[in-house]
Amino acid sequence: MEAITTALDSVPIGLANYEKQSIDSLDYLKDNKIYCGDARYLLRRIQPESVALSFWSPPYFVGKSYERTLSFQDWQHLLEQVISLHFPIVKAGGFLVVNIADILSFPDPSMPRIQADNIRNKKAKVTREQVVSAQQAYPEYNRYQLAAILGCSEQTIDRRLKNNNIRGGKYAVQRKVKLVGGLIDEWASRAGFYLYDRRIWVKDPAWENCQWHSLSYRSVDEFEYLYIFWKPGITLVDRNRLREREWGEWGSRAVWYIPSVRANQQHEAQFPIELARRVIRLLSAPNELILDCYVGSGTTAIAAIKEHRRYLGIELLPKYAELACKQCLRAHELEAQCDLGL
């Protein structure tokens, strides 16, 4: 087995300089390694037509620490570019699988501030219509004077006039909600891929992360998509990859129920190893090369080791690249022990 190292010194870290680097004189990235650097730079250093399956979960643009500097525009450029850089490196007949939450919510000052009239929280009986008519009758009155006329507090007047923003606090900027699947499909098609399939991963409901559900009719966040893109070419179909029972339970099923990773002390957005194992087992053969260019804590690489595939991981942040590297070493050791029957 080849030694596993991070290449922390050998590649640029950060978003600014990835395009300036000359890659012509550099070697291809090696298998069974985790590299630290920007995917937009390092993907250019992967051997063409070498990757059987690329599986990753990108920054979702939901305010995690590693994406805070990105504008919505930057985020779109990042994903579009990374997808297009995949086309030359994925084998003909191979797959690119993107795991992402299908719905995105981000502050948009240009959007009208829709007011939510939350009936259950109303303690005073005064209605918005009453406040508006009092205001029309006494246009020179401030809210304290209007409160005195209507027999309520000045906060009630303020609340009735402003109410709460439907997707944020009373004074918060409105939040725009957008479907992501269409964007990913558009970028992948532009790159030359074809949408092959999609699966739904049902995870734990994320009540604590949901910023707006109590003031709207929107559901809590509890599933994500896996968009599967195919590069034209012959795809080997091997029905022996899974047992009969596995085909029935998940291989042929569109909806996968897999609990979220709860203890996220090491990385703030890990996906479960079972998710990566299923994708790898379904869409690749033993010893093929699996890529994750947003490898984070190394989940895809570890799943590849367990499933006896080769892997290549790319991660921007040194702390996560180091974590992924350590976890891969551990997984290799465990696999070696298994091979010895220990």
Ligand X SMILES: C[S@@+](CC[C@H](N)C(=O)[O-])C[C@H]1O[C@@H](n2cnc3c(N)ncnc32)[C@H](O)[C@@H]1O
Torsion of CA 305, 309, 315, 318, to 10 degrees: 40
Instruction: Work out whether 320 is an interface residue with ligand X (CB under 6 A).
Output: yes
The closest alpha carbon to 56, from 333, 336, 316, belongs to 316
Is residue 191 within 8 A of residue 181, CB to CB? The reply is no
Q: Minimum distance between the CB of residue 292 and ligand X, rounded to whole angstroms?
A: 7
Which residues ranging from 54 to 93 are in contact with ligand X (CB under 6 A)? 57-59, 66, 78
Query: Of 269 and 328, which CB lies nearer to ligand X in the complex structure?
Result: 269
Q: Minimum distance between the CB of residue 13 and ligand X, rounded to whole angstroms?
A: 9
| DSSP character string of 134-187 | HHHH-TT--HHHHHHHHTS-HHHHHHHHH-EETTS-TTSPPEEEEESHHHHHHH
Instruction: Work out whether 316 is an interface residue with ligand X (CB under 6 A).
Output: yes
Query: Of 146 and 227, which CB lies nearer to ligand X in the complex structure?
Result: 227
Q: Minimum distance between the CB of residue 314 and ligand X, rounded to whole angstroms?
A: 5
Which residues ranging from 251 to 290 are in contact with ligand X (CB under 6 A)? 267, 269-271
Instruction: Work out whether 221 is an interface residue with ligand X (CB under 6 A).
Output: no
Is residue 299 within 8 A of residue 271, CB to CB? The reply is yes
Instruction: Work out whether 223 is an interface residue with ligand X (CB under 6 A).
Output: no
Contacting range for ligand X; rule: CB under 6 A; set: 233-241, 251-259, 292-300, 326-334: 292-300
Backbone angles phi, psi at 65, to 5 degrees: -60, -35
Q: Which of 32, 33, 38, 104 binds ligand X (CB under 6 A)?
A: 38
Instruction: Work out whether 299 is an interface residue with ligand X (CB under 6 A).
Output: yes
User: In 3-state terms, what secondary structure has residue 7?
Assistant: coil
* CA angle (37, 282, 30) in 5-degree steps: 30
Distance CA 316, CA 12 (A): 9
Instruction: Work out whether 317 is an interface residue with ligand X (CB under 6 A).
Output: yes
Q: In this structure, which amino acid lies at residue 298?
A: G
Distance CA 227, CA 57 (A): 11
Instruction: Work out whether 315 is an interface residue with ligand X (CB under 6 A).
Output: yes
Q: Minimum distance between the CB of residue 224 and ligand X, rounded to whole angstroms?
A: 11
Q: Minimum distance between the CB of residue 296 and ligand X, rounded to whole angstroms?
A: 3
Size of the site for ligand X (CB under 6 A): 22
Query: Of 184 and 293, which CB lies nearer to ligand X in the complex structure?
Result: 293
Instruction: Work out whether 314 is an interface residue with ligand X (CB under 6 A).
Output: yes
The contacts of residue 117 (CB under 8 Å, 6+ apart) are: 128, 163
- Residues lying near ligand X in the complex (CB under 6 A) are found at 38-40, 57-59, 66, 78, 267, 269-271, 293-294, 296-297, 299, 314-317, 320
